Structure 1
């Protein structure tokens, strides 16, 4: 009935698997939980080996670091059921009805279902405040809110999808890129595939440091410029690309680059501070996409 697929890298995923395993047993469904380790450090691999002790649970390891996109492709190839539920490894369901809620959406006309993200109310240490603040303000949205712009809130870390559709949409090149959820969202959008948002959140717990998240965000900007900037109607999905295309349209590229060159260090200091301003974060990414070839 349901294959639950969890890519992991340098994270202990035991608590998540145990939680999901108990929920599946309580629902009396046919299921499997497959975890694929993307060449983590040895102690993480050793800890995650415990997954194999649970019924219908499997743990595999990549021979080298393939990246999240290719790892998800391999997981889908291993899945035996028609419906697959992707979960990030650093999450935990909001409640014990998580699997039950998704089951109600199996075998209906909707091909893709997104449950959403949440973050703990207690703030983390200042070294991780950027990722936390971004998550709380930009990702933690109700199903009603997400449904107004359904393709802007495609988060593959909590996604139920038919396996055959996933194979049609997933980017399968060997290169490693960050921020490929927007690529996946555009595939859904351009093919007019209906998506359904529900209130079935997972708590995102594995927050990166400010510096790591900042660098990943910039790599994500490059991915968007490489794969999506010239796509038809992409501005309907992504505000960053919408502003970038306006700057090009009104021939403001030189001014934008000059502003970014002058303000770059000031913006970065704020973004990596104990109280980052997300508007400055947006300005930096916009300047970055204008400046980078």
Structure 2
């Protein structure tokens, strides 16, 4: 009935798999759990190999890095059941009836794409992780992501992740854009997972820059439009007013002060939005 796909990169996935095995067995469903490390060469894979000792579970290691989307596509090709549950390796079910909720929804409705949601712990983390936590609490909780998604296998195989996207960031945006353009409805239910792996603010900021470089690539490739991204919409508005050069000037003039705030104990998401727009404009100016 259910194939659970977990793309892995330098993370210990065994606790998540153990919990999913327990819940699947309690639900009495037919299932498989497929995990695949994307050539991280991590020592954590020594423990991850124990996934292979569990019934209906497999752990694979890619010889070369594919990128998250292509890694999930590769996993989907290995599956044998009609429904796919995609989970990020650093998530964990918020409730012990997580699997049951999804199987009940699949059985009782005509929905073919279901998003369960992402939540974060209420307790504030240490100062070095506050940007990631604040962004997660106030933005990702309301975003549409593929880190906790059930989808019919047939639909996924017809509309997989774009394989030209191999870097980090915005592969979800492109994936959902294709589904919406093909008139698929994405339903949301209250069945969240916790996001556990909080990066430091500095690491998250650097990953944001890489993601924006990826967004420029996706945008230049005409795989998404302003309807899909607020950053692109804002950029096109500035371009129409011939203000992109001025925006880049302001961004470069204030980048140090903005980064100081983002790495502080009180990071401003408004400044983070301006930072992302300014960085995107500067990248587009170079293109």
Question: Which of the five TM-score ranges fits, normalised by the shorter chain?
Answer: over 0.9
Q: CA–CA distance in 2 between the matches of 1:97 and 1:68?
A: 27
- Take 1:233 and 1:246, find their aligned partners in 2: how far apart are those partners? 16
* Structure 1 alignment gaps of length 5 or more: 142-152
Distance, in Å, in 2 between the alignment partners of 1:17 and 1:185 is 26
Q: CA offset at residue 120 of structure 1? A: 0.4
> Equivalent residue for 2:282?
291
More displaced, 50-59 or 91-100?
Answer: 50-59
Report the counterpart of residue 158 of structure 2 in structure 1.
168
1:27 is aligned to 27
Residues 1:154 and 2:144 aligned together: yes
Instruction: Note if contact 1:52-1:58 (Cα within 8 Å) is conserved in structure 2.
Output: yes
8 Å CA contact retained: 2:169, 2:215 = no
Structure 1 length-normalised TM: 0.91
How far 1:263 moved relative to its partner? 1.1
Query: Paired residue for 1:102?
Result: 102
Are 1:264 and 2:260 counterparts?
no
Q: SS where residue 221 of structure 1 aligns?
A: helix
Q: Structure 2: give runs of 5+ residues left out of the alignment.
A: none
1:119 lines up with 2:109 in the alignment: no
1:140 maps to 2:131: no
Conserved 8 A contact 1:179-1:217: no
**Is the Cα contact below 8 Å between 2:111 and 2:187 reproduced in 1?**
yes
RMSD: 1.8
Give the secondary structure class of the aligned counterpart of 1:95.
coil
1:232–1:249 distance in 2 versus 1, CA, 3 Å: farther
* Compared CA separation, residues 219 and 52, structure 1 to 2 (3 A): same
Q: Normalization by structure 2: what TM-score?
A: 0.92
Q: CA deviation at 1:66?
A: 2.2
Q: Give the superposition deviation at 1:222.
A: 2.0
Paired residues, number:
282
**Taking structure 1 as reference, are residues 276 and 174 closer, same or farther at Cα in structure 2, changes over 3 Å only?**
closer
Change (3 A) 1:202 1:253: same
- 4+ runs deviating over 4 angstroms: 229-233
Does the 8 A contact of 2:165 with 2:214 survive in 1? no
For residues 291 and 126 of structure 1, the distance between their equivalents in structure 2, rounded to whole angstroms, comes to: 29
